[in-house]
Chains A and B, each alone.
Chain A
């Protein structure tokens, strides 16, 4: 089980995340929603151990992950928001490097890479430099890198960005399948429909604090509305229809 206990992160005394607590159990798919600047990326970085909390801790199977980050990360599959990759490495080489660094047995690693590349329709481009890849192709490489060592925890930060329709559909089903396979999935996204469809629970952040944390079904029941309307109700102070009309007005101004 993964637990976040009163996680707080401050940048120069300005809080990015404050007193964030939740648990993520095997089989649970926890969606994390929030507008820009709500602390989603900071939360993800603390969960992956890339950022040390100013206060609070993340526990995995009862142990603070900061005590032994290396062994914690062996159980982790992470897809970051931005697909920053080494442009001169080929997709295959990148995956081989990640697999080697994870200490995977070579034959198993190579066969998994081959099969996953095939399933993600990346086989024809596997020996091309990643600098020539589209955003969606890079995203698929990151997904394969996160999946290939069969981790227990998945942390996806905007994983659908740039994916084509088919890959996105495959991915949505994959997340549900991972949940059913007993994996823990933390899923950050802006796309409310996807979160509503694939997540069992949802965590809504606003200005670094949790404003709602419940199952998707319960959140909808409480406010009697869809997740989109609930999100707007809880998070946004902006009248989106008025803003859209104002934009058209400015555009048409002579």
Chain B
């Protein structure tokens, strides 16, 4: 495993490994010194705001653009030298799927089959029809691609990615343009592919989708990797304990008490702050593991501060993402989980 940016090794379980991958367009550095590691069987979420460099990274992995510096090793092969062999084991969508508008969905898949090294013509019929069924385009298979809706185009793109039964599926915003039912189907499809042992690399703005299907994520901002790790660990870092007391005075006392104790006796408390945004009565938000609720409650009780309500709250990828990628000045009050994540953001390679 590559634990810091100066070491670079790989083993058979690492499907994608980038080493100081960098792409600059003139003075604009779109991707900077990127170290990614995607393990075999991962459903890997690749997150970042618009312009963060996600699609540029995907294009570099697929050889559509050449890195300015660094390398990408996929299946143990350097994609600068062995791209054709790598691509035969990958199915990919890059941005909105583009196909030949004058061909039907089925004929487009036949064209993709020929380009993927499959036997052309009727020999590929069975697989093409299988894939059309998987993406539920069987009934529109003979319609011209130009007449497809955006959702149908996305589904055909996923079908093309799956056509040659690849080991690694790279999906760039696969749920774009899909209605909630379509998004749900894609999530299910990804989970099904994962159970078949496929490695899936998925970039998406739909953080809820990512949280539901991915086991590992990387977060990119302005071309820099700011977080990489297991989803469950990130979510743990975003956990909070919410406390509501009976008066503002008590709330302020509790805030002072927790702040005084957090560094000495309760180092697992990352941050405590008062949230006045949602209710008449302010609440306290404690960035701490959910399992510590009872200890926090006991501390308050020892000082005659009895919580009217105390409950642990799970972290969400959306909150974590916003905490990491939104400039602090624009956050009021501080986003939950942000302090805990800020504490770790100097360690972008934190592993699963």
Bound pair (A, B) = no
